[in-house]
Structure 1
Amino acid sequence: MLNFNVTYEIGYAIGKGKRVLLTKNRSIQEGSPSIREVGIFDTLGYKEYQNSLELSGFLTTAVPADPLSIPSKINIKSPVYLLEGMHKTDWATRIVSRIKKARYLFRSFDPNEQPRLSANDAINQVAQSHGIVVPLLSSATVGYEVHNMRGAFIAGLADGMSKALCILQHEDDPVPLDYRDFVRMSYHPDDINEYIASFAGEVAEAFQQDTSVITPNEDTFLQSIDLGSTSAENEMRTLESYYLKTDQFLKSLRGEANIVVGRKGSGKSAIFLQVRDRERNKKGNIVLDLKPDGYKLIKFKELILSFLEEGTFQHTIMAFWEYVLLLEICYKILEKDREQHKHDHTLYEPYRALADLYHAEGYETEGDFSERMSP
């Protein structure tokens, strides 16, 4: 049966470069969560036994082998790794928003994009990070067992590799008492602000330390090949170096296509990221990069419907969306020219006038777009 403490300790041993032998008693009924649901261990591999004789035989005949290879190259462009949950709650949205507020690009594991976390992916992602953020869900949250078990493994890896680690617990349980001193308890989204600010300082400190890259000589040619991440969002800053310019990308870049539709993994995000970066680099361009969470859009629709009759909904929702987009354009302009307008007399008066209009309605300016959309 999977256990938070043991899962953490396995991750810690691997992070320390130790050889780990995993066993499972086949006579004991598997509880929840199962190995199949969590992943990790079925990709690490384990030996089943049913009595002490079989266990003893396995331990005495185990072939000595080198520990799992741990990459030494740090991803300095996206130095933070985040374990995301299935549901994008206000608490989860605040964590993402505060990481962005700290000006750190981050990579993440999102169970909505990847249903299972492999041990190899977890090890590689933690190894190339300066900082790791592991939110632990409360026992009242759907799917908390699977999420927290993944969190235990990632936290163990991070501690074993001496990475800056921020473990956040939503409310009081079910974090084990053994780890209570290492976990930051959160009862309100505002608690996240202080915790992530402290974590950001630890990541900055990690940047000051020696991060020289040492490539192991024993790596084979195939082991040295980097095929990239399965998610384009996790390699925003490195995608350009090996991106293949497809016909769909060129049509989007030329403005011949405005909507990109495709199945998961077909390259929609990669096209968007490459077009965005090229347009953003052109002088005078301002690119509005919005990624609202699905449940925020549903809440937005429900909020509008609560004030309107069904017959007037279609026209009014379009007007509301136009208003929100205009507000976001203002936000981006004010952010981009925050320093420039102080030194350019032609910008100063228009900038102040725009700032007054933007703040007149008390629109929330903190966080990212998803957080600003919260009712």
Structure 2
Amino acid sequence: MNTQYFPIVRAKAGEMEALKRLDASTIARCTPISEVTKLDGTDLERARKRSSTPYEDYLDKRAQSIAAVFKGKHVILDTSQWPVGFATEGGEQVLSYVCSALSELGVIVCPVIGYDRWESIEYQETIKSMVLPEKAFFCIRLDSIAIEDFGDLDHLDEIIEDMVASAGLNETSTPVLVDIGDVTRLPVQEVMEIVETAYGHMKGLGFDYIVMSASSIPDSIEKAVKERDSTGLVQRKEMIVWKGFMSANPNASLYFGDYGIRNPRASDIIATNMNVKIRYTISNAFFIARGHSVQGEDGYAQSQKLSRVIVNSVHYRKPEFSWGDLKIMECSLGGITGSSTNWISFDTNHHIKSVAAEIFEFTTQLAAVSARV
């Protein structure tokens, strides 16, 4: 059964804390796709004041935070947010630099090969020169450019074939991530058509291990819940599509992935007037409790009121369900308030636990139905 979950998570403090707090059985059912975000803006300015090698210091810290959770385990590593030709102070490409750092720290690191980057000769040479540790593998990521190229299959096949030959890939053991990205404006049927097309074609090319990923959560809370100090539901289209596809094709090797509780385009910059909110994952949807600007009444302390909304709703599981649920209960009782980074941790921890359980329950039911037919 394809019970493994592939959450795309940023290698940031909030997400790493959420992963660290997961129970052993949940973490065993997760293969994270860890995105090392680019160092820029005010963070880069501060880093330059502290060190003559700000990029390498930053990447070392990201590797250490990943290794603190996943030493001895598989992690799929993606650095697509960095410019394709970017090099560290020592002249090394970001992908190979972080892979080397993680390997030295005992992580079984599996680099992502980006379809959208393959036209760069420098990028190709980086991939060709990488020697993977034992049990590691490459992962091909098909993003929006590749999805468009499904309309020109000869061109797509030429690029995929070149990837396979250049990197020495084995199609049967190389996962393909079909990353649809932000689907907030796409109807479920269109997302389903993308998945069906991509899955069918990649299987035809000999790939056995297909992962779909998308995100239905908007890039701003105002688009999710229009009214301040209110609640709303956001449909998780990616989960609905995956369940629909698997129900129609119970023997398919399509695995599920998503972007957690963040939109793929969401900024890491914390706005001074951000709205306090809790994004609580439920079956096929997000239940969102939205407050108002932190500059308004109660500031971050709004989280205590919003936590009571979650706890008193029909959707709340129980404090024992996850560390995130425990922190929501503590906040509802006035024990904590939490920063924006804390709430990314709490919400992400509950989300991953919830989705891993949802996948396991669905595939178990599907297997039972298939066995009776």
TM bucket normalised to smaller: under 0.3
Which one has the largest radius of gyration? Answer: 1
Give TM-score, length-normalised by structure 1: 0.24
Give TM-score, length-normalised by structure 2: 0.24
